[in-house]
Structure 1
Amino acid sequence: MTWQFEHVTLGQRVRFGTGEAAANLALEVERLGARRVLLIAEETSAAEVVVSKIDVTARCTDVAPHVPVANAERARTQASEVGADLLVSVGGGSTTGLAKAVALTTGLPIVAVPTTYAGSEATNVWGLTEAARKTTGSDDRVLPVTVIYDAALTASLPDELAVASGCNALAHCVDSMWAPRTDPINQALAVEGIRALRGGLREITTLDGREQMLYGAHLSAVAFASAGSGLHHKICHVLGGAYDLPHAQTHTAILPYVLAFNAPAAPQAAARITEALGTDLITLYDEVGASHVLRGVPDVSEAARLILPSVPPSNPRPVTEDDLAALLNAAQAGQNPTEWSRA
């Protein structure tokens, strides 16, 4: 086998330590010489703990799923009005996404402190939603300069949401195995991410499990940032923007069906995924209580038409509008993904 590929590694500092988020944030604010911090976070006790050792100039709580353009514009205006020189985001993917929307037009640096396993903090991918359509892109300006991981901040996540967020991270790994820019390096990161997430999901109520989840989520996001958006993410981004579906739960529901659809056309990648999981995906879902039932799509035919133009030409298996409709129907019915793919 002759390898030929081009790989880009994004530059980012990571500070990882349970119970150390406030101290690590203070170190980063000092290192960056920031004097006017705009905190982007919902009003939570976690956010208050994280910023307890720094001065905050202003707070933006205008966080919403899929980052509506109107919210982004208000946050950008606020950043300008207060003369912010650093953005600190504390929260899940929606919070990080809002900070990225501000950085996209202002160039302000971000220090991201994730409280879920969304992974957005480790990518240069942004997303904005307007008129029920989600637009995504990549730009190095939105990559946080530093990520601060603290497993204590994920302890309050309800179990169901924690599992869904972890499966969202798994989706980054799986998609990275056959996404448009996949290469041996990001595939290796993805496989190790799957291993960590497998263990973390099974012990998600423990500190060790949550630390594994954060480690796996970071690896999954780094792999995804390099490999790009594959079929899974294109489906979920369109559904999320068009029907305002919950991000993590939608990714969790769709993942087994995309894996079952693509696996026959990418046997080597599928084998590595299964080996890293140590079982098949649905068995893991059953063990950890994850749901593969899609909810909230009122018109499958419309959804399939909206998704098709976004499907990567490099997907291992050709995709038609009928394929997409069948996949969505199977997910809404909660069919066994393996049995559906063989039908």
Structure 2
Amino acid sequence: MAPAEPPVLALTTGEPAGIGPELVVMLAAQSRPAARVVAVGDPGLLAERAAGLGIALEPLELAPGQAVSEAAPGRLPVWPVALRAPSRPGQLDAANAAYVLETLDVAIAACRAGHAAGMVTAPLHKGVILDAGHAGFTGHTEYLRDACGVEEVVMMLATDLALHATRPGWRGSPALRVALATTHLPLREVADAITAGRLSRVLRILDAELKHWYGLPAPRIAVCGLNPHAGEGGHLGREELEVIEPALAALRAEGLRLDGPLPADTLFTPRHLEGVDAVLAMYHDQGLPVLKYAGFGSAANITLGLPFVRTSVDHGTALDLAGTGRADPGSLRVAVALAAEMAWRRS
């Protein structure tokens, strides 16, 4: 039975100098019937960005666990986190790195305590967090994995069509879902990170989560090779022969429907994607440029394998757009809608 009220979603406001706070403000100016959204950030910052955009906004400060009502346009519930230093659009300040991480910690704690059904994240800036001394920080995905104490999570981006593709009567174009075997690694480290163990963990999570969230009884996953032409029979690299193919064969014996390893330069074409439910790319810039070309601004990032729902935007902090009013909240709307639908399904 569906819950009586829309799910509560914690929405972190991201890097304060970027477009995240104003995207949250733009979202607050619109009706959000699918979810009760609570921003996690500095109420004064949100009010300031709203004033700069000419948007009337009333931040409503709440404590985690306090009842969250469905907010009307222009009213935004907030779990407050104080900025460490004043913030100006487009001007990074390492003093606020701890603020950004605290917003994540508050959202994670709310999800784990049951005060929120999931979290949606506006973009943060990895460089300024590292510059502030938080060594080893590589991004939202890995931070959430470590905070939740899980061995492996999977980053998957999906176009907005993926939100509707399994609904009865849907006749739109096929959804494009691209998951990653590795996430935020320097390119020279990728080959060493592609192991049979990692591929097995990632593909089992991807298969299970596609079944759970998208209602696919036997998802078909196409797997990219690591090397050009998927190694050309070992002439352009042996990772396909020695690592990827044996791992896929073992998983097929478990019942997973896997195609590959396939050359990435031809896999992302309509003929090869026909009937495919998701693609597993070996590294970040092998798969995501294709997805973002197909649906940039109308796609969302999903973290699979966490104990709660997490989605995010498909773009970065866009410091050059911050404060100009030209930022597009489309991806944030998709991320919120997708998180709401996933939370409904989990409930």
One fold, TM greater than 0.5?
A: no
Normalization by structure 2: what TM-score? 0.30
TM-score with structure 1 setting the length: 0.30
**Structure with a larger share of its residues in strand:** 2
Instruction: Give the number of the structure whose alpha-carbon radius of gyration is greater.
Output: 2
Higher RCO structure (Cα 8 Å, ≥6 apart): 2
Q: Which is richer in helix?
A: 1
